[in-house]
Amino acid sequence: MRADIHLIPSSPLPRGISERSVVVIDILRATSVIVRALSQGVLEIIPVATVEEAFEMAKRCPPDTTFLGGERGSRKIEGFDLGNSPGEYGTERVNGKRLILTTTNGTKAFHSVSAGRVIMAGSFFNMGAIARHCLDLGRDLLVYPSGDMGRFSLEDTVCGGMLIDRILKEGKEPVALTDAGQSALLLYRRFKENPVEALRLSTHGSDLIKRGFEEDLSYCARVDITGIVPIFRNGVIRIGEGI
Ligand code: MLT
């Protein structure tokens, strides 16, 4: 198995993605919201790129079981039901419903890697489950940090490094790392005792603090609180069946 990470989202995707497992990571905060919402009983999530698409999609879904979530400029979008703080997605609000989600970077990332063989949503919340599923699949891995407007992001890369670290520790077969994979691993080891430090140092983390969302940083840094593996297939994210 070979483990790679796509450090710069705006750079061209590597060849052979259609044979690889892909893990999309947007710690602050799209994939943290996705994992949290599904763990609290959301039936499915439709990630869309724009606010207009979200409203259009909502018109085609049953209104009593569909709700809109996401952010622009980190804040809840006018006319939406929820913002992009994972703590908002408690079972009493979301259980049994369909979420249409649009965020600045994270929801677009799923569409950028839609050619992947198996596409998962990863966060600190479900890191152990994602690592085990990648090992079970046994395919070459591409970690896809969704970054910040096409740029490198510290927090997503540190989480990607944690995934690589788990795979190296738990895998029975040898794992070859690309230079990017090796770099993410080294970065993760710098922050492994205190991942929230990486979130606080990151550009998006400090923007979230300035905008009043400081609590989301420690919330999103909680590790292994659920065993679900969300899978993106045919435009929809659901908990993987038989996982
Ligand atoms: C994103 O997709 O860029 C993030 O989730 C943005 C945020 O939550 O502030």
Residues 78-93 pLDDT 10s: 999 999 999 999 999 9
pLDDT at 169 over 90: yes
Task: Give the pLDDT mean for 152-179.
Answer: 97
Percent of the chain topping pLDDT 70: 99
Query: What 3 state SS string does the chain have?
Result: CEEEECCCCCCCCCCCHHHCEEEEECCCCHHHHHHHHHHCCCCEEEECCCHHHHHHHHHCCCHHHEEEEECECCECCCCCCECCCHHHCCHHHHCCCEEEEECCCHHHHHHHCCCCCEEEEECHHHHHHHHHHHHHHCCCEEEEECCECCECCHHHHHHHHHHHHHHHHHCCCCCEECHHHHHHHHHHHHHCCCHHHHHHHCHHHHHHHHCCCHHHHHHHCCCCCCCCCEEEECCEEEECCCC
Of the CATH numbers 3.90.1560.10, 3.40.50.970, 3.40.390.10, 1.10.10.60, which one belongs to the domain with range 2-236? 3.90.1560.10
pLDDT-derived band at 241 (thresholds 50, 70, 90) equals confident
* Residue 243: predicted pLDDT: 62
26 lines ligand 1 (CB under 6 A): yes
Task: Give the pLDDT mean for 99-112.
Answer: 98
How far does residue 39's CA lie from ligand 1's centre (Å)?
Answer: 19
* Residue 26: predicted pLDDT: 98
Q: How far is CA 165 from CA 8, 21, 127, 152, 155, in A?
A: 20, 16, 11, 20, 15
* Residue 28: predicted pLDDT: 98
30 lines ligand 1 (CB under 6 A): yes
Contacts of 208 (CB under 8 A, 6+ apart): 28, 29, 74, 214, 216, 217
For residues 44 and 97, give the distance between their C-alpha atoms in angstroms, rounded to a whole number. 7
* Residue 190: predicted pLDDT: 98
- Mutation choice for ligand 1 from 10, 25, 27, 29, CB with most ligand atoms inside 8 A: 29
Q: What ranges do the domains of the chain cover?
A: 2-236
For residues 50 and 213, give the distance between their C-alpha atoms in angstroms, rounded to a whole number. 22
74 lines ligand 1 (CB under 6 A): yes
Task: Give the pLDDT mean for 172-182.
Answer: 96
For residues 15 and 168, give the distance between their C-alpha atoms in angstroms, rounded to a whole number. 23
72-78 long-range Cβ contacts below 8 angstroms, 24+ apart: 72/104, 73/104, 73/211, 74/207, 74/208, 74/211, 74/213, 75/211, 77/51, 77/102
How far does residue 72's CA lie from ligand 1's centre (Å)?
Answer: 8
If we measure between CA atoms, which residue out of 15, 3, 11 comes closest to residue 151? 11
Task: Give the pLDDT mean for 52-62.
Answer: 97
pLDDT at 242 over 70: no
- Mutation choice for ligand 1 from 80, 103, 199, CB with most ligand atoms inside 8 A: 103
For ligand 1, atom 8, which residue shows the shortest CA distance?
A: 29
Q: What is the pTM of this model?
A: 0.97
Task: Give the pLDDT mean for 155-184.
Answer: 97
For ligand 1, atom 7, which residue shows the shortest CA distance?
A: 74
For residues 96 and 233, give the distance between their C-alpha atoms in angstroms, rounded to a whole number. 19
153 lines ligand 1 (CB under 6 A): no
Token reading at 54: 């979200």
